[in-house]
């Protein structure tokens, strides 16, 4: 007790001594002296003239204090240094730099940065502001395909598109016109569409129907439609009538079966068989020919067959047991030990897959593999040790070469900045070089007719050039010097709300369509869909 009293007295004495110190100067100034004033100031309001422009235009910044720091001054257009033409105390005249892009104009003086006005830069590759991106979708758009008559089919998680006033909404599947407006001849409204998100969509030209995959268990008013459906040209699910043991008729999907789990990719072979890829472990087929013995009423059972991530169906939706299937064990053979992020059906009906996996059917693979037409591993495709991290996407060039992206830093032991190009046999193409590549990762790729490449993801710089999650590259991998004036993608809230899911050329136009979960492009509102034009 005595020790506590002594300690309390000492503490009280220290506090009194501290409080007795003078905390302000006798002059009334704060203890830290006068505040440090900024070296320069940008003018408020019209701080830059003209207010927008093109590369190589001369523009004038207004403010004060410029002349005193003239020798230390660096003007940046969204992080890219601009040539200075003339400096006075109240103005700086600069040339819009070659790799400058829409964004903030800032001044750098040593280690100090002063942020100035927003300046949009226009160029030969830019967002089409007449396209109704603002109206767009109220949820993610995960896929888009071109259709006859200059229309497009889109699928996703949206329940409204183009600010439509349709009762019951536009539920996860829609047809749109080339100008981005909703095609009202398609079926929408209460009780229509799939019960869950749509991922891949495929057009069947001979049948004049669509094949739709995703994560749903009903479509329109039809139950037991498991993650895959055939859809009529007007948007209604293709259905059949099943006679039950009681004599009643039940509407059912025209396809005999589906999958328990999401379908992320769908392909139709030349023989009309369907390859499905996704996060599923079971093929399921509803059995409508059952009844309860006691009550004598109709019953239903799901006949289930274990399959792993990849399966092939006959055109009627029954499981094809000739594709990577263990007949003795009555189940699919093992496939990948990870996730398949991207797949493509090749012209010879072989399948190219990429993702985070490191084995296929128990055999070691390098996160990218090619499968034979029976689903077995094609040993003729050899990427060596492959990427050191997951492959998120790839695109196929017309010459058969494969451009791959991901968050990897090496590919087959060679430094890689998240993008490489492979020869058709899987070997690295040394003529393709992105330099340091992305300071982050590239999640999605697009191919512009003519060979230029779009890369989107989560990065602030690409090959040392400031780019906001979006960059256009030349066919050899360099940052395109005239196609990168846009301000790129701005994430809202978190990265999951800014991703690109698909980019595709618009047939007959010098334009591209991009869909995803983003809500801004080039600092303009763009709700999950945007159209680019290029020259």
Q: For the chain, give the percent of residues with pLDDT over 70.
A: 91
Looking at the domain assignment, is residue 512 inside a domain?
no
Q: How much is the average pLDDT of 176-187?
A: 98
Q: How much is the average pLDDT of 263-275?
A: 98
Convert the pLDDT of each residue in 317-345 to its tens digit.
Answer: 999 999 999 999 999 999 999 999 999 99
Looking at the domain assignment, is residue 98 inside a domain?
yes
The percent helix, strand, coil of the chain (3-state, each to 5) is: 5, 45, 50
pLDDT, residue 297, reads 85
Convert the pLDDT of each residue in 38-83 to its tens digit.
Answer: 889 999 989 999 999 999 999 999 999 999 999 999 999 999 999 9
Quickly state the pLDDT bin for 34 (edges 50, 70, 90).
low
pLDDT, residue 450, reads 95
Convert the pLDDT of each residue in 248-260 to its tens digit.
Answer: 999 999 999 999 9
Omega of the bond prior to 14 within 30 degrees of 0, cis? no
Q: How much is the average pLDDT of 375-399?
A: 97
Looking at the domain assignment, is residue 378 inside a domain?
no
| Mean pLDDT, rounded, of the chain | 92
Looking at the domain assignment, is residue 60 inside a domain?
yes
For 375, other C-beta atoms within 10 Å of its C-beta total: 21
CATH number for the domain spanning 72: value is: 2.60.40.10
pLDDT, residue 1, reads 38
Convert the pLDDT of each residue in 416-474 to its tens digit.
Answer: 999 999 999 999 999 999 999 999 999 999 999 999 999 999 999 999 999 999 999 99
Q: How much is the average pLDDT of 297-305?
A: 91
Asked if pLDDT for residue 480 goes beyond 50, the answer is yes
Quickly state the pLDDT bin for 494 (edges 50, 70, 90).
low
pLDDT, residue 7, reads 36
pLDDT, residue 12, reads 37
pLDDT, residue 300, reads 87
Looking at the domain assignment, is residue 210 inside a domain?
no
Q: How much is the average pLDDT of 288-302?
A: 80
Asked if pLDDT for residue 30 goes beyond 60, the answer is no
Number of domains in the chain: 1
Bridging pattern class, strands 282-291 and 298-306: antiparallel
Radius of gyration from C-alpha coordinates of the chain: 30
Q: Picking from 3-17, 353-367, 384-398, 457-471, which range would have the lowest pLDDT averaged per residue?
A: 3-17
pLDDT, residue 27, reads 53
Which residues are 345's β-sheet partners?
A: 351
C-alpha 430/C-alpha 422 separation (Å) is: 9
Convert the pLDDT of each residue in 496-527 to its tens digit.
Answer: 678 999 999 999 999 999 999 999 999 999 99
Range of the domain at 88: 41-122
pLDDT, residue 11, reads 36
Looking at the domain assignment, is residue 224 inside a domain?
no
Looking at the domain assignment, is residue 58 inside a domain?
yes
Nearest to 470 by CA among 436, 496, 495, 444: 444
Token pair, residue 505, equals 């050329």
Convert the pLDDT of each residue in 131-145 to its tens digit.
Answer: 999 999 999 999 999
Quickly state the pLDDT bin for 23 (edges 50, 70, 90).
very low
Q: For the chain, give the percent of residues with pLDDT over 90.
A: 87
Quickly state the pLDDT bin for 231 (edges 50, 70, 90).
very high
pLDDT, residue 497, reads 73
Q: Picking from 292-296, 385-389, 469-473, which range would have the lowest pLDDT averaged per residue?
A: 292-296
In eight-state DSSP terms, residue 531 is E
Q: How much is the average pLDDT of 284-293?
A: 86
Looking at the domain assignment, is residue 24 inside a domain?
no
Backbone angles phi, psi at 5, to 5 degrees: -65, -40
Q: How much is the average pLDDT of 227-237?
A: 98
C-alpha 208/C-alpha 147 separation (Å) is: 10
Which residues are 216's β-sheet partners?
A: none
Backbone angles phi, psi at 302, to 5 degrees: -95, 110
**Residue with token string 């991207």:** 342
CA 72 to chain centre: 41
C-alpha 299/C-alpha 463 separation (Å) is: 62
Asked if 324 and 376 touch (Cβ cutoff 8 Å), the reply is: yes
């Amino acid at each position: 007790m005595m020790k506590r009293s002594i300690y309390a007295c000492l503490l009280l004495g220290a506090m009194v001594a501290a409080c007795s110190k003078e905390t302000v100067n006798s002059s009334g100034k704060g203890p830290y002296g006068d505040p440090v004033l900024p070296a320069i100031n940008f003018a408020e309001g019209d701080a830059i003239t003209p207010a927008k422009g093109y590369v190589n235009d001369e523009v004038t910044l207004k403010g004060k204090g410029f002349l005193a720091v003239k020798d230390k001054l660096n003007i940046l257009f969204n992080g890219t240094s601009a040539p200075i033409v003339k400096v006075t105390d109240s103005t700086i005249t600069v040339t819009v730099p070659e790799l400058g892009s829409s964004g903030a104009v800032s001044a750098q003086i040593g280690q100090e940065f002063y942020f100035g006005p927003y300046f949009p830069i226009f160029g030969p590759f830019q967002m089409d502001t007449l396209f109704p991106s603002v109206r767009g979708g109220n949820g993610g758009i995960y896929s888009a395909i071109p259709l006859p008559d200059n229309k497009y089919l889109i699928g996703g998680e949206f329940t409204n598109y183009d600010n439509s006033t349709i009762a019951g909404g536009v539920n996860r599947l829609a047809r749109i016109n080339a100008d981005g407006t909703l095609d009202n001849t398609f079926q929408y409204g209460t009780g229509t569409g799939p019960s869950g998100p749509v991922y891949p969509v495929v057009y069947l030209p001979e049948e004049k129907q669509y094949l739709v995959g995703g994560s749903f268990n009903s479509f329109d008013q039809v139950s037991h439609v498991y993650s895959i459906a055939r859809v009529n040209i007007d948007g209604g699910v293709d259905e059949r009538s099943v006679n039950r043991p009681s004599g009643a008729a039940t509407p059912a999907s025209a396809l005999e079966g589906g999958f328990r789990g999401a379908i992320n990719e769908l392909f139709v072979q030349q023989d009309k068989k369907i390859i499905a890829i996704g996060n599923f472990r079971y093929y399921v087929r509803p059995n409508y020919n059952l009844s309860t013995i006691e009550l004598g009423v109709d019953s239903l059972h799901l006949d289930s067959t274990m399959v792993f991530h990849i399966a092939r169906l006959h055109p009627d939706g029954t499981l094809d047991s000739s594709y990577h299937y263990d007949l003795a064990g009555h189940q699919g053979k093992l496939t990948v030990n990870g996730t398949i992020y991207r797949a493509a059906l090749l012209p010879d009906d072989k399948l190219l897959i990429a993702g985070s996996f490191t084995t296929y059917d128990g055999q070691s693979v390098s996160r990218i593999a090619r499968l034979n037409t029976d689903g077995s591993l094609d040993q003729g495709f050899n990427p060596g040790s492959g990427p050191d991290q997951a492959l998120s996407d790839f695109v196929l060039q017309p010459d058969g070469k494969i451009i791959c992206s991901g968050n990897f830093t090496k590919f087959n032991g060679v430094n890689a900045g998240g993008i490489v190009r492979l020869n058709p046999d899987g070997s690295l193409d040394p003529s393709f070089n992105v330099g340091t590549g992305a300071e982050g990762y590239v999640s999605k790729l697009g191919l512009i007719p003519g060979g230029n490449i779009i890369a989107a993801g989560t990065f602030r710089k690409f090959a040392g050039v400031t780019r906001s999650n979006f960059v256009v590259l030349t066919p050899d991998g360099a940052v395109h010097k005239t196609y990168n004036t846009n301000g790129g993608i701005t994430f809202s809230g978190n990265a999951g709300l800014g991703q690109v899911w698909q980019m595709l050329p618009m047939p007959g136009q010098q334009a591209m369509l991009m869909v995803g979960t983003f809500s801004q492009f080039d600092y303009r509102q763009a709700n999950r869909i945007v159209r680019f034009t290029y020259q």
